[in-house]
Amino acid sequence: MEKRILIIDDEENMRHMLTALLNESGFVVDAVADGVLGLQKIEEIQYNFIFCDIRMPNMDGMTFLRTAADKLENSNVIMMSAYGSIETAVEAMKLGAYDYISKPFKTDEVLLALRKADERERLKNENIILKEQIKEIAEKSSFGNMIAKSKAMKSVFKLAEKVAQYDTTVLITGASGTGKELVARGLHYGSNRDKKAFIPVNCGGIPEALLESELFGHKKGAFTGANKNYIGLFEAANGGTIFLDEVGDLPFLLQVKLLRVLQENEVRPVGDTQSRLIDVRVLAATSKNLEQEVEAGHFREDLFYRLNVLPIHLPPLIERSEDIPLLCEYFINRFNEKLGREISGITPSAMSLLIQHNWPGNVRELENVIERAVVMAEEDLLVKDNLPDKFLNDNKKQCHQFEDICSGFSIKTGKEILEKNLIQRALEATKGNRTKAAKLLEISHPSLLSKMKSYKILL
């Protein structure tokens, strides 16, 4: 694709010389005598490069730069002058010029300035393409405000993106701190209800005596202290989404009333005789095993099946340790902005400790650890000493344990002891699930079975 150059100079000989030189170099060249004519040209044509003299009649080069600023974003402007100074060059750069050459100049200087400008343009375009690629990758590796690159979480994101489009009930399960509310928010804002309310409710955080009124509202005089009609959270979410967090903590009596809401799409405020139709999408989450709760008689079976229309399970962080570096980068950037720091990353030794940790608090615990580390950091990298003491103690404990169980100097024996220890830890972390344990250990399932047999590891 041909590149276009505009020459703005009041000297006819200079215009002629530059036009001949640049035409010979393969450029399409236009030339005008002052800034006013230059403005007219850039209104008509998009130029890759502009050579502009500083001293000219009608409109000088500096005035041209100021006047045309909003039209020169995609053009590299190279200023020219026989009366130049460092101050003039700096001022031209501030006004948007890319380069500055002094007259008289050799042809090599012109071509060198063009090559530099062309390289800048190439890098600029590559940067734009790279940003688009990063954005595309991020979109494929994220859902709502969640990011991940592990296969397990990408499967969650793919399912959630599909589920978000449909007005159906979703049950989100997973340990505390895995991001259940973030998934719920992603489902809401990825749906056609995104302009309406998203109302989260912690079913275990509201006193049982107040929970029915909070959810369904009450009529004036329904009970002592009910001085006026009160709209419940289900009605407040009308047209939008209500998120029932820790739904497994819902009292048994309210489970019956919630089931009616899900079946009939209506609520009856406390003390009222009339039910009210509502249009609310219900998303629920729990860290409990509701099937076990049903078997124990603590949760209604019919409600469980009504909530569990489309289940989404979030794996614990220990099962997706490959996400830890990505999450760390995300949290560092966030806390840099929040706390006014300029942390650029984490040392390998500190990252190793983070990856080895069991993370009982999951992503929420990781977030808190990174915030603390950013506050404590004295350099631009997070180091081991910025992490809580328990990380260093866990590391020392693991080293001592290995030294205690591995006497002697045999590499073969040490390898076997280490393998057995890692397999036992993986099986413990996955509660005996050999398929998941094999993924954690990054070995095949048959290989795991073979090693378990060899090391006499029983479930």
What is the pLDDT at residue 243?
A: 96
Query: Which percentage of the chain shows pLDDT scores above 70?
Result: 91
The neighbour count for residue 179, using CB atoms within 10 Å, is 24
Q: What is the mean pLDDT of residues 149-172?
A: 91
Query: Which percentage of the chain shows pLDDT scores above 90?
Result: 39
Q: Is the pLDDT of residue 407 over 60?
A: no
Quick check: helix, strand or coil at residue 142? strand
What is the pLDDT at residue 295?
A: 94
CATH code of the domain in which 35 resides? 3.40.50.2300
Whether residue 406 lies inside any domain: the answer is no
Range of 122's domain? Answer: 4-131
109 confidence band (pLDDT: 50, 70, 90)? confident
Q: Cα separation of 449 and 458, whole Å?
A: 10
Q: What is the mean pLDDT of residues 6-17?
A: 91
Task: Say yes or no: 196 and 297 in one domain.
Answer: yes
What is Dmax (Cα atoms) for the chain? 97
CATH code of the domain in which 213 resides? 3.40.50.300
Q: What is the mean pLDDT of residues 345-350?
A: 84
Q: Cα separation of 320 and 323, whole Å?
A: 6
- Last residue in a domain, options 268, 295, 315: 315
Pick the closest to residue 278 from 241, 238, 230 (CA basis).
Answer: 238
> Which residues fall within 8 angstroms of residue 438, CB to CB, at 6 or more apart?
444, 445, 447, 448
Quick check: helix, strand or coil at residue 1? coil
Task: Say yes or no: 218 and 99 in one domain.
Answer: no
CB 36 within 8 A of CB 48: no
Q: What is the mean pLDDT of residues 420-426?
A: 83
> Which residues fall within 8 angstroms of residue 303, CB to CB, at 6 or more apart?
255, 256, 258, 259, 262
Question: How confident is the prediction for the chain on average, in pLDDT?
Answer: 86
Q: Is the pLDDT of residue 94 over 70?
A: yes
Q: What is the mean pLDDT of residues 99-120?
A: 84
What is the pLDDT at residue 409?
A: 61
What is the pLDDT at residue 357?
A: 86
Task: Say yes or no: 157 and 52 in one domain.
Answer: no
Task: Say yes or no: 122 and 213 in one domain.
Answer: no
Task: Say yes or no: 112 and 164 in one domain.
Answer: no
Q: Is the pLDDT of residue 408 over 70?
A: no
Whether residue 241 lies inside any domain: the answer is yes
Q: Is the pLDDT of residue 267 over 60?
A: yes
Q: Pull the structure tokens for residue 188.
A: 């809401």
Whether residue 211 lies inside any domain: the answer is yes
Give the H/E segment covering residue 201. strand 198-202
Higher pLDDT, 163 or 121: 163
141 confidence band (pLDDT: 50, 70, 90)? low
Q: Is the pLDDT of residue 208 over 70?
A: yes
Task: Say yes or no: 223 and 178 in one domain.
Answer: yes
Considering its fold, how many domains does the chain have in total? Answer: 2
What is the pLDDT at residue 459?
A: 63
Q: What is the mean pLDDT of residues 70-84?
A: 82
What is the pLDDT at residue 291?
A: 93
Q: Which of 22-26, 141-145, 204-208, 303-307 has the lowest mean pLDDT?
A: 141-145
The neighbour count for residue 180, using CB atoms within 10 Å, is 25
Task: Say yes or no: 157 and 102 in one domain.
Answer: no
Q: What is the mean pLDDT of residues 391-399?
A: 58
- The strand pair at 49-53 and 4-8 is best described as parallel
Whether residue 187 lies inside any domain: the answer is yes
- Last residue in a domain, options 253, 287, 315: 315
Quick check: helix, strand or coil at residue 232? coil
Task: Say yes or no: 195 and 300 in one domain.
Answer: yes
Whether residue 26 lies inside any domain: the answer is yes
Q: Is the pLDDT of residue 278 over 70?
A: yes
Q: Pull the structure tokens for residue 422.
A: 């890692």
Task: Say yes or no: 29 and 171 in one domain.
Answer: no
Task: Say yes or no: 81 and 183 in one domain.
Answer: no
Q: What is the mean pLDDT of residues 290-318?
A: 94
Task: Say yes or no: 263 and 202 in one domain.
Answer: yes
99 confidence band (pLDDT: 50, 70, 90)? confident
In angstroms, what CA-CA distances link 171 with 188, 190, 214, 242, 344?
13, 17, 21, 12, 38
Higher pLDDT, 127 or 356: 356
End-to-end CA distance of the chain: 68
Q: Which of 179-183, 338-342, 402-406 has the lowest mean pLDDT?
A: 402-406
CB 398 within 8 A of CB 363: no
Q: What is the mean pLDDT of residues 136-153?
A: 72
Whether residue 385 lies inside any domain: the answer is no
54 confidence band (pLDDT: 50, 70, 90)? confident
Whether residue 205 lies inside any domain: the answer is yes
Whether residue 336 lies inside any domain: the answer is no
Task: Say yes or no: 197 and 245 in one domain.
Answer: yes
| Bridge partners, residue 77, by sequence | 50
Q: Is the pLDDT of residue 345 over 90?
A: no
Q: Is the pLDDT of residue 127 over 70?
A: no
400 confidence band (pLDDT: 50, 70, 90)? very low
Q: Pull the structure tokens for residue 190.
A: 């990825």
